[in-house]
Amino acid sequence: MTPAFKTINTKFGFTLYEVIVVMVIIAIVSAISILNYRAWIPGVRLNGAARQVMSDLVAARMTSVKENVSVVVMHLNNHSYSVAVGSGTANIRDLLPDYPGTTLSFTSVLFSSRGTTSPRTLTLQNSSGIKKITIAITGRVKIN
């Protein structure tokens, strides 16, 4: 004969062994992620600095054409530069606060009132590598 009532399994939850195994797996994945993240950061900073410098150069060229004046982008030190429109005041851009560890080197760039310049190459570098920004004689700016 079968009993008149069914037994219901009321055991819910995890064993201590299962919880420890899951915590160990999470710890291993976290350690690997943190190491990869730290190696990834300098590359992101270098790309960001290159895009910042490129956008400032493009803006300087556009300003020279728009206002029909010469614009000079002058190298100040290994992490900052200034953009001077005509004979007015210069705006100084410092890469150090936003992109620490990134250095910049180039010779001054003069955009004529037509947006042209002599060809230049700007070099940005940090622990992840080197990025070069080239300026063509036509004033076209691109990251290599």
Q: Residue 121 is part of a domain; what is its CATH number?
A: 3.55.40.10
Q: Full-prediction pTM beyond 0.95?
A: no
**Domain tally for the chain?**
1
Residue found by looking up tokens 């400032």 in the block: 56
Mean pLDDT of the chain: 91
DSSP states of 53-112: HHHHHHHHHHHHHHHTS-EEEEEEETTEEEEEETTSPEEEEESTTTSTT-EEE---EEE-
Domain assignment present for residue 122? The answer is yes
pLDDT exceeds 90 at position 3: no
CB 106, CB 121: distance < 8 Å: yes
Question: Would 35 be classed as within a structural domain?
Answer: yes
Q: Which of 115, 57, 45 is nearest to 81 (CA)?
A: 57
For residue 136, being part of any structural domain is answered with yes
Amino acid occupying residue 80: S
The CA-to-CA distance between both ends of the chain, in Å, stands at: 84
Look at residue 6 and tell me if it is in a domain. no
The answer for residues whose C-beta is within 8 angstroms of residue 101's C-beta and 6 or more apart is 42, 45, 126, 127
Residue range of the domain that includes 82: 16-143
* pLDDT tens-digit series, residues 38-81: 889 999 999 999 999 999 999 999 999 999 999 999 999 999 99
